[in-house]
A = this chain, B = another copy of it.
Amino acid sequence: MPSTSTRQYQLQPKHAPTISPSSTMARSRAALAALAIAVLVSACAADPEPVQDFCVAAAKTAGADGQATFPGFPCKPESTVVSDDFFFAGLSQSGAAAANDSPFGSAVTAGNVEAFPGLNTLGVSINRVDLAPGGVNPLHSHPRSAELVHVVAGEMLVGFISTAGKFYSKMVGEGESFVIPRGMVHFQYNAARNGTARAVTVFNSQLPGVVLAAPSLFGAEPEVPDAVLAKSFQVDGEIIKLLKSKFQN
């Protein structure tokens, strides 16, 4: 049962406005860890056709010792595959506390191939999104997957921006769904003052990949040059420095 490898990440920028200074460093480390996980989450993004019934992911040991690897995950020997390999309990634990604790007010528990090895080659995955009151699963895109948001509790504003620059959004309640085309920037937002909201988000990819808009642009390592950011956002360098201060260490 792969539940011990479940990954729960809290998206945390460096200096969150509502957080006391003393906790900044700890949070920075948490943010780094979150980013590291986001990296793992987004390392793969496309899903070729399966060539076998299944190929339960085995540990990628070759990569660990600095050797060259092939893309994707190797298969556990078929003789050792058991029913538990197709089972995943990682989304049953609440992410509400983690959401509260995050500057974004959100927590995403990933049920992708890294947490749930049985998904390998099957082209589908599922995340759990918990939103604190006022929390947002911040603007991001998935390079290789559409996303279907299905609200399980509470309600949330779900929206995306098309490449034509049109913003489509809807308040989505319990048992209702909203779909986001592949590659489009989108978010989920709990506008309520009280009351959490929860959704499962499902993907047609075993590892949809995540490009978090703000951390990607302003928190990259090494830094994207200020001149490039300033010209792209049509603002001066002070604004760029302010934005960078939120996402860098």
Q: Give the B-binding residues of A (Cβ under 8 A).
A: 13, 15-17, 35, 38-39, 42-55, 58-59, 61, 63, 66-72, 74-89, 91-93, 103-105, 111, 116, 118-119, 121-126, 134-136, 138-139, 141, 143-148, 150, 152, 157, 159-170, 172-185, 187, 189, 191, 200, 202-205, 209-211, 213-225, 227-229, 231-236, 239, 242-243, 246-247
> How many copies of the shown chain assemble into the complex?
6
Q: Complex Cα distance A208/B17, Å?
A: 38
Q: Complex Cα distance A118/B231, Å?
A: 29
Q: Complex Cα distance A176/B126, Å?
A: 11
With both chains docked as a complex, state the minimum distance between the C-beta of A14 and any C-beta of chain B, in angstroms: 8
With both chains docked as a complex, state the minimum distance between the C-beta of A178 and any C-beta of chain B, in angstroms: 5
With both chains docked as a complex, state the minimum distance between the C-beta of A159 and any C-beta of chain B, in angstroms: 7
Contacts of A66 in B (CB 8 A): 77, 79-80
Are A43 and B47 within 8 A (Cβ)? no
